[in-house]
Amino acid sequence: MVHLIEDLAVLLLVSLPINLFFHKIKLPSVMGYLIAGILIGPYGLKLISDVASVKELAEIGVILLLFVIGLEFSLGRLLKNLTSVLGVGGLQLGLTTVFVWFVFMEMGFQQNQSIAFGLIVALSSTAIVLKMITDRAEIDTLHGKICIGTLLFQDLCVVPIMLLFPLLAQSEVNSGADFTIAMVKSLAAVVAIFFLSRLIVPKALIWIARVGNKEHLTLSVLFIILATGWVSQKMGLTLAMGALIAGMIISESEYNHQIILDVLPLRDYFSSIFFISVGMLLQTQVLMDSIWLCLEFFVLLVLAKGGLAFLSCLLVRVPVRISFVVGMRLAQVGEFSLILSAMAMDQGLFDPHHYQLLLLVSILSMLFAPLLIQASSVFSMKLFSQWKSAENDSSPKPVSELKDHVIIVGYGLGGRTLAQVLLETQTPFMVLDLNGEQVKRALTEGITTHYGDCTHEETLNRAGLQDARMIVFSIPDYTVTERSVRLARKINPEVKIMVRTRLTEQVEELKTAGADEVIPEEFETSIEIFSRVLKDYRIPNNIIEQQVELIRLEGYSMFRGLSLNSESLKKFSTYLTATLTESYLVLQESWARERMLGDINITDRTGAVVIAVVRNNKAHPNPDSEFTVMSGDTLILFGSHLQLDRAIAYLKSGQDSG
């Protein structure tokens, strides 16, 4: 026990600074854990003595990792991304598995081993790819959606793959019929566990939440994970499979969000141990002895996975450049592959040497993946812009006949809203988008639309940028936006360029690139929040608008931690101390209802003056003291901020707030 505590302390001592370094350079923590494991393991600096105990803790990490994935499983998200999930995801997994199976069969491996290698290599890293896409704010981009859809499909396929591996390892399963029967039995076991648990678990959680507290709910969830895993193992499945089923069951519960918050710290800690333990299992001597073989397999893996993902996208008519980006981003082996590799070795599908080679190639691909992801967008634009230029020199396309128009790049929510306003005001415009679904939607709505990549000069020329008054970029991909802004400014130095972006630090970069106006989403949200706060304190609209304008003129410096200049602050102070008007609607519960203005005596009590009353859409200016206030009347009040605040409170309750 003492040795285990010492080993865990060493794990944290070494992995924490490495992980902080990777966080600082904005790379996934998985890479830091793998490197830490290599350094401190029995084949590195030999700082860990009890590797077997660490592996047992790592298995807990796998169970919790699969439980949270099951917990976060969403049928709605699956249906929303059905096209990319079934299209690109199915093709990528199928083509990669078949390709790897063929290669290993040619190398002399048995068929069951070749199938196992193919399924393991076909999976990509959800942890690395999703982390990088999220950090780069690319979840809503076309390539981001395709990558997430493909990863979702792969995660779903982990369930049948985990069922398949024990069957592949069974020597007595020879014929296709026997194999099918064994597979059906395993699936029947999964379905039985799932539906039996669905009948029991939700009711149990509701009862525990009613009679117990938060700690009881957390303990119950841990019991459900272990119990489902134990039942799964007794029925011929694995503990990890049981944890995945438990997560999917609880995901339908109304307590799933609280459960995720409770389990995440445990999941993060134990799954980090899993990745560190994987690094510890890597034998550096095997790497040294087989360095060239490992590099050859690594290069083949990256090219094959990237190329087949690229081909899968093309087959479902994804644009060429986007297909290339998706291929580069999925060209690595995933964390589930590491779990499945260990499972395959335990069940005798691989020998330790094959496992080590697969582990080495997998870790190399995961370490190289962030560099590929970071370079994918820029490299694809450089590659395909040159290719497109050469292609278009020989086949010129017709140019838009619109003049003095607006070009909307991106037909998402922002683009659609702008298009509707321009239609209403009869302002000439056209839409440019690379997403086929969005283009189809715009054409269905009768909008002039071009399908094309805004990073290509020929595409912008076809949209009539030379004769346009304004171009508005409303796309979530910052790298594409920045390059397109530079290109648009180069083509037409006089055009007004307006850009929507997400992050504050991108404002100055986009203005330097040539944008006239940059609208950051997070600042506009902040402006909307403070505007509503001021409205609740009955600050008039013209003063709120003045403050909004001050912030925008100062380049949002208030929100970036800088100060507005003293002149701006003096102006705002003047606005706030000015007199103003306010309206008050008399309700059934208002104290002032059915009272005469003379009896209310609002001027003496608060200092505000009633300058008019609106009743049934008819104004009564300067009402006398005998005017009776009725429900539904709107009183127009005049005074300072303080006076109006006191007057509103007085009219409501009959009590002066001052």
Q: Specify the pLDDT at position 554.
A: 57
Mean pLDDT along residues 350-370 = 86
Residue 58 above 50 pLDDT? yes
pLDDT of residue 556: 54
Of the given ranges (201-205, 341-345, 396-400), which has the lowest mean pLDDT?
Answer: 396-400
In this structure, the answer to whether residues 163 and 77 fall within a common structural domain is yes
Residues 423 and 549 in one domain: no
Of 358, 378, 398, which residue sits at a domain end? 378
- Sign, CA dihedral 181-183-185-187, equals negative
Identify whether residues 144 and 253 lie together within a single domain: yes
Average pLDDT estimate for 126-150? 78
Q: Residue 187, Cβ neighbours under 10 Å: how many?
A: 13
In whole angstroms, give the CA distance from residue 521 to residue 276: 38
- How confident is residue 306, by pLDDT bands cut at 50, 70 and 90? very high
Distance CA 481, CA 279 (A): 39
Tell me, yes or no, whether 314 lies in a domain.
yes
CA–chain centroid gap for 440, Å, is 25
CATH number at residue 460: 3.40.50.720
Q: Is the pLDDT of residue 515 over 80?
A: yes
Instruction: Give pLDDT, residue 458.
Output: 84
Asked if the structure places residue 401 within a domain, the reply is no
| DSSP for residue 431 | E
Per-residue pLDDT, 69? 66
- Between these two residues, 86 and 444, which has the higher pLDDT value? 444
Q: Is the pLDDT at 116 greater than 70, yes or no?
A: yes
Structural domain contains residue 386: no
pLDDT at 420 exceeding the cut of 80: yes
The pLDDT of residue 621: 86
Contacts of 76 (CB under 8 A, 6+ apart): none
Of 515, 538, 560, which residue constitutes the final position of a domain?
515
Helix, strand, coil percentages (3-state) for the chain, rounded to 5, are 65, 10, 25
Question: Is 387 part of a structural domain of the chain?
Answer: no
The answer, yes or no, to whether residue 253 has pLDDT greater than 90, is no
In a domain, 391, yes or no: no
Same domain, 25 and 134: yes
Mean pLDDT of 144-164: 79
Helix H or strand E segment including 615:
strand 609-615
Say if residue 38 is in the same domain as residue 171.
Answer: yes
Q: Which pLDDT value is given to residue 562?
A: 44
Please indicate, yes or no, if residue 6 is contained in any of the structural domains: yes
Where in the sequence is the domain holding 585, given as residue range(s)?
580-653
What's the burial of 593, exposed, middle or buried (CB within 10 Å: 0-12/13-18/19+)? Answer: middle
Of 192-196, 345-349, 477-481, 623-627, minimum mean pLDDT range: 192-196
Work out the angle at residue 91's Cα, subtended by the Cα atoms of residues 90 and 97, and round it to the nearest 5 degrees: 95
State whether 592 and 638 are in the same domain: yes
d(CA 209, CA 203): 10
Contact 608, 639 (CB under 8 A): yes
319 and 460 in a single domain? The answer is: no
- Higher per-residue confidence, 256 vs 108: 108
- Confidence band of 558 (pLDDT split at 50, 70, 90): very low
Dihedral of CA atoms 258, 261, 263, 268 in degrees, nearest 10, equals: 160
> Do both 547 and 587 map to the same domain?
no
Looking at the chain, the whole-number percentage of residues with pLDDT higher than 70 is: 77
Q: Are residues 294 and 342 in the same domain?
A: yes
39: pLDDT strictly greater than 90: no
Query: Which comes out higher in pLDDT, residue 56 or 200?
Result: 200
Assess if residue 384 is contained within a domain.
no
Per-residue pLDDT band at 499 (split at 50, 70, 90) = very high
Hey, what are 486's tokens?
Answer: 């530079």
CA distance 543 to 549: 10
Nearest to 246 by CA among 221, 215, 214: 221
553 occurs within a structural domain: yes
- Give me the mean pLDDT over the 409-417 stretch: 88
In a shared domain, residues 168 and 156: yes
Q: Are residues 584 and 488 in the same domain?
A: no
The H or E element containing residue 203 is helix 176-211
Mean pLDDT of 133-137: 73
List, for residues 1-19, the tens digit of each pLDDT value: 566 677 777 777 777 787 7
Helices (H), 41-141: 51-71, 75-80, 82-84, 90-106, 111-122, 126-135
Residue 77 pLDDT > 70, yes or no? no
pLDDT above 90 as % of the chain? 11
- Kindly state whether residues 622 and 502 are assigned to the same domain: no
pLDDT at 173 over 50: no
pLDDT at 158: 77
The CATH number that applies at residue 127 is: 1.20.1530.20
Look over the chain and give the mean of its residue pLDDT values, rounded to a whole number: 78
Number of structural domains (the chain) is: 4
